[in-house]
Amino acid sequence: MKAAVHKLALVVVFFWGMLAAVHAQASAGYIARQLHQPVPGGVAALTLKPSVNRPAVTYNELPVLVVKDSDQQWLALVGIDLKAVPGKSAVRVTESGRDYTIDFTINPKTYKSQHITLKNTRHVDPDPEQLKRYEREFREQMQAYARFRDHPPSNVLFDKPVQGRLSSPFGLRRFFNGQERNAHSGLDFAVPTGTPVKAPADGVVTIVADYYFNGKTVFVDHGHGLITMYCHLSAFDVKVGDTVKRGQIIARTGSTGRSTGPHLHWNVSLNNVRVDPAIFLRQ
């Protein structure tokens, strides 16, 4: 009897906890309701305490994007690493001399696998010279991702950079010629070569380059650690340092680098971690 009562009590507590979480999410602003997906590779959208000035927020000692939501509350958008361990986590908030933390829970998520066969085996096992080139290019990209430009983004709810079929989702465990490599860090859209690629928000172009694995690549810094990357392009319509507007054509799709056919690889980075771009498309 006692065991049954205890079990019932646990069910009631769980139910009310879930109800409280649903209520909190329903009462959040529009952006928070659209983007809050606190899973590995996802985004935690955390409403902050009322404040006149924009609070400073850090997560894992890195600065976090803070925007105004539709209800005029400050909202922290926290990128969660794909390798993050599910469980309790927290951000630190500083505003007008006061510090506090906001706790949140990273929920588990399982991603599927994808097996790809490449004819060019050097795109699986580069030779020493190619590996040196890759390492140099990797450092350039990591430096671009790590920037925190002190300018808020024009918008955080995006339009697709191209209109086309989604051929590979985010987070796939990827096997090239049977060998496991890094998980898929973005979305792939299957579109013909030459399809115009549009910027999803205002920003500054920080990289225009031809990389070993990524092929022709563009980086756009939208401000406050929100950065997008576009790979396997055939042509560029911008140069480093250009200021671009939402909807502006920045490049043309192609099949350069490690690619099996014409497509656009698009990724989104927040506080220097790659997160699922589909979240920003409200999908």
Summarised one tens digit per residue, pLDDT across range 209-250 is 999 989 999 999 999 999 999 999 999 999 999 999 999 999
Q: pLDDT tier at 44 (50, 70, 90 boundaries)?
A: very high
Q: What is the pLDDT of residue 97?
A: 81
pLDDT of 7 higher than 60: no
* Mean pLDDT of the 169-183 span: 67
Q: Which domain holds residue 213?
A: 113-280
Q: pLDDT tier at 21 (50, 70, 90 boundaries)?
A: very low
Q: Are residues 203 and 256 in the same domain?
A: yes
Q: What is the pLDDT of residue 123?
A: 53
Q: What is the pLDDT of residue 131?
A: 80
Q: pLDDT tier at 98 (50, 70, 90 boundaries)?
A: confident
Q: Are residues 41 and 123 in the same domain?
A: no
Q: Are residues 140 and 54 in the same domain?
A: no
Burial track 28-66 (b if 16+ CB lie within 10 A, e otherwise): bbebbebbbbbbbbbbbbbbbeeeeeebebebbebebbb
Least confidently predicted of 182-191, 220-229, 264-273: 182-191
Q: Are residues 127 and 207 in the same domain?
A: yes
Q: Are residues 117 and 101 in the same domain?
A: no
Q: What is the pLDDT of residue 173?
A: 72
* Mean pLDDT of the 23-41 span: 83
Question: Which of 106, 122, 147 is the C-terminal boundary of a domain?
Answer: 106
Q: Are residues 164 and 261 in the same domain?
A: yes
Q: Are residues 142 and 239 in the same domain?
A: yes
d(CA 256, CA 242): 23
Question: Which of 87, 106, 125 is the C-terminal boundary of a domain?
Answer: 106
d(CA 65, CA 57): 8
Q: Are residues 198 and 233 in the same domain?
A: yes
Q: What is the pLDDT of residue 241?
A: 98
Q: Are residues 119 and 248 in the same domain?
A: yes
Q: What is the pLDDT of residue 43?
A: 98
How many domains in the chain? Answer: 2
What's the CATH number where 135 sits?
Answer: 2.70.70.10
pTM for the full predicted model: 0.84
Q: Are residues 157 and 187 in the same domain?
A: yes
Q: Are residues 86 and 144 in the same domain?
A: no
Q: Are residues 77 and 120 in the same domain?
A: no
Q: pLDDT tier at 19 (50, 70, 90 boundaries)?
A: very low
What's the CATH number where 77 sits?
Answer: 2.60.40.1590
* Mean pLDDT of the 113-124 span: 56
Least confidently predicted of 109-118, 126-135, 252-261: 109-118
Question: Which of 90, 106, 122 is the C-terminal boundary of a domain?
Answer: 106
